[in-house]
Amino acid sequence: MVEEPSIAVITGGASGIGRATVTRFLEDDVYDLVACLDIAEDVEKRFEDESIRAFRCDVTDHDQVSETISELEGEGRIDAVVNNAGFSKYSWIGDLSPDEWREIIDINLTSQYNLAHTAAPAMYEREHGYLLNVSSGAGKRGSASGGVHYSAAKAGVFGLTKGLAKQLSPYVRVNCVIPGLVDTPLATDSNLWTETELEEQAERIPLKRLAQPDDVARVIHFLCDEGASYMTGELVTVDGGSSLS
């Protein structure tokens, strides 16, 4: 019998941590295809490798996610989903409108439900799969640079991860990565931090530097691999020791 191609799906894969994760997944021989779902207009032009399929997809939109997952399931079996897409904004609570609240909850939390809802049941039926949700230290401590909507959404990811890990056991392992400050456009090219603030933050980190995207991608890859075969429902912090203080 010919085996179906194995597919890994990575959201927000066009930039930063997601892009580094796409590269990590490509480097091993486990997956025949790595699918990148991203809202970036030029997502299809950002990759040249024929083992990558780029989809312009807004992961907050359940219909778009459902269509993309169905299309991929026609090409093979989805064995891993990395819910990485995210976005942060600063708003003082008094200025935080209901629309902006929903926007940030949708991109950082509802998107992860959308992928789990559309992709996880088939993994469960096949009795094999990995889900990995990206959160943030903002969910543990409250965001230093973003608003309370970002902190709330990232804390919501903890509950989503643990609930899914219970429901989908023993077949699908579900874990969460909690990055500290990472050198990506979200931190460096947004108006969340000035360059001086980033330098000050780096000085306070015990390992004395921001994370590079691949520092996080390596842990994501590990959790979606057999090396982590006895881990599920875990929240794994990758913050250079920032949580020590």
State the pairing for strand pair 6-11/77-83: parallel
Which member of 23, 68, 112, 136 binds ligand NAD (CB under 6 A)? 136
Residues 112 and 216: their CA atoms lie apart, in Å, by 18
How is residue 134 written in tokens?
A: 């990206």
- Of the residues 90, 113, 124, 150, only one is catalytic, namely 150
Nearer to ligand NAD, 156 or 179 (CB): 179
Which member of 22, 72, 80, 107 binds ligand NAD (CB under 6 A)? 107
Which member of 52, 72, 172, 182 binds ligand NAD (CB under 6 A)? 182
Nearest to 120 by CA among 111, 131, 134, 108: 131
179 binds ligand NAD (CB under 6 A): yes
Nearer to ligand NAD, 7 or 177 (CB): 177
Residues 38 and 57: their CA atoms lie apart, in Å, by 5
143 binds ligand NAD (CB under 6 A): no
The residues pairing with 177 across neighbouring beta strands, listed in sequence order, are 134, 236
Nearer to ligand NAD, 83 or 232 (CB): 83
- For the segment 54-73, give every residue that binds ligand NAD (CB under 6 A): 58-60
Nearer to ligand NAD, 36 or 168 (CB): 36
Beta strands in the chain (DSSP E): 6-11, 33-38, 52-56, 77-83, 129-134, 172-179, 235-238
Residues 7 and 77: their CA atoms lie apart, in Å, by 6
Reported as type and span, the H/E element at residue 126 is helix 111-126
Confirm whether 150 is a catalytic residue. Answer: yes
Catalytic (active-site) positions:
150
Binding-site ranges for ligand NAD (CB under 6 A): 11-12, 14-18, 37-40, 58-60, 84-88, 107, 134, 136, 179, 181-182, 184-187
